[in-house]
Amino acid sequence: MRTGRVIVSVLFVVAGLVAGCSSAEETAGPAVIGSWHGDIQVPGQPIGIGVNFAENGSATIDIPMQGVRAAALKDVRTEPDRIEFTIPDVPGGAGFQGRLDGERITGDWVQSGERVPLTLERGAIENPARPQDPKPPYPYRSEDVTYRSGDITIAGTLTEPEGGGPFPAMLLITGSGPQDRNEDLMGHRPFQLLADTFTRAGYAVLRTDDRGVGGTGGVLDDATYADLADDAAAGVGFLRGRPEIDPAKVGLFGHSEGGYLAPLVAAKPDSDIAFAVLMAGPSVLGADVLIEQNKVIMAAAGSPQNEIDDQVRYVTEWSALLLAGDTEGAEAYTQRHNDSLPEGERAPQSAVDAFNTPYMASFITYDPKPALQSLRVPVLAFFGGTDQQVLATQNEQPMRDNLAAGPDATVHTFPGLNHLMQPSSTGKPSEYSTIETTIDPAVLTYVTDWLTQHIPPR
């Protein structure tokens, strides 16, 4: 699910970074060309960045902890006494201003009128340690595949155990926002790890790029939940059409928003889904998830109560317009809210527009209760006890209630784990990138054991 506030400028958060073009008209100075790295000294959590200046005057930035790789910068200047760049479409005019100082570049990171010292040293930034990342050689087959969903092509990776099958199989469904097939988040690749884990256990696993990402066509913001459910159903159909896969043993694994979509797919009259696994999947109305998310994340960040109240009031009123079907009213309300903010805190217009799309409206207005109540297959739903995005305190009991009529439902909360199922005492989204663990091994064991008990591998 989406993190943080709706239409708000958060210092040093650059999610939503889009590629742009350098506006430099000169080639970069020889003393500056190459890779540099340094830490923005945000209190309590330095943010490492890497900048590469090219000979043609362009530059790119890497921010591993926020999943930003080789994103183009603009307004690039590379004179020794004036080294500058800005990041396109980030609230508060985020960028750097400094100068070459011997073998270092010294200056300030500037955003929303605030300045923080930043020193860049020569050399590329190191990627954070991710000890659970699968590494070849793999004891299974891996194949890049494509198939159709309506008028778009979906691209993904299918991993299969060695041997001829038939194998039980599952489709992985990502969380919200544009995700690639590995669900690459903050330098972690949880879906790559899940696919590796389950394939080693004897299951074929299909993971795909979302609409508009990687090799998949379409535009995510233009899609409704019905469209995304059709995409997932197409993936199920693709799996069933493979001769090495048992068509009667195809299931779904959904993370976060994927936990909304998996039951929606399984509830289709002709789905014949064999099982569903929901990792941090919400069980209440989307608007309620977002409101609670804002309360908890802002409070954990130390926001004053009056700011929390103002934000909750805004999200509540905006959601009410979408729930009433007043899309134009929601757009106008969002625009008025953004225009009322101090100039340095306003979101870019592209970000304002992104909060009033068919995709976002589907999330806000979606009630998972009917789909969950209709499930008549084995279901495993689990939560993280410190999750600040899909709170166990808000979603665990409704999940139990909604699945109560099913023949075989297991609902479980892992204490001390966050939204990605990482060990975390606070659950803050800002910590995702700083935690080396991608998914707690206890979760991988728990889910694999559940699968082997309910849908034994061949």
Domains along the sequence of the chain with CATH: 34-122 (2.40.128), 140-284+367-454 (3.40.50.1820), 286-363 (no CATH)
User: Quick one: which of 225, 217, 214 has its CA closest to 179?
Assistant: 214
Nearest to 86 by CA among 108, 55, 64, 117: 108
CB 59 within 8 A of CB 85: yes
Q: Residue 40 pLDDT more than 80?
A: yes
| Stated pTM of the model | 0.85
> What pLDDT digit, counting tens, does each position of 421-457 carry?
999 999 999 889 889 999 999 999 999 999 999 999 9
Residue 345 or 418, more confident = 418
Instruction: Provide CB contacts within 8 A for 396, sequence distance 6+.
Output: 283, 383, 411, 413
Question: Pick from 140, 183, 182: which is nearest to 162 by CA?
Answer: 140
Omega before 269 within 30 of 0, i.e. cis: no
What is the rounded distance in angstroms from the CA atom of residue 390 to the CA atom of residue 359? 19
Peptide linkage before 137 cis (omega within 30 of 0): yes
Using an 8 Å Cβ cutoff, are 189 and 438 in contact? yes
What is the structure's pLDDT at 11?
A: 28
User: How many Cβ atoms from other residues are within 10 Å of residue 371's Cβ?
Assistant: 20
Report whether 376 contacts 275 (CB < 8 A). Answer: no
Report the first-to-last Cα separation within the chain, whole angstroms. 35
pLDDT at 5 over 90: no
Question: Is the per-residue pLDDT at 216 higher than 70?
Answer: yes
Q: According to the model, what pLDDT value does residue 94 have?
A: 87
Query: How many other β-carbons are positioned within 10 Å of the β-carbon of residue 269?
Result: 6
**Burial environment of residue 217 by CB neighbours within 10 A (0 to 12, 13 to 18, 19 or more):** middle
284-303 b/e (C-beta count within 10 Å ≥ 16 → b): bbbbbbbbbbbbbbbeebeb
Range name among 65-74, 229-238, 261-270, 356-365 with the lowest pLDDT average: 65-74
Q: Using alpha carbons, select from 50, 213, 210 the residue that is nearest to residue 127.
A: 50
What does the block give as tokens for 149? 């969903």
**pLDDT tens per residue, range 135-190:** 999 999 999 999 999 999 999 999 999 998 899 999 999 999 999 999 998 889 99
d(CA 194, CA 57): 41
Closest CA to 205 of 129, 134, 152: 134
pLDDT at 142: 98
CA-CA distance, 261 to 173, in Å (whole number)?
A: 8
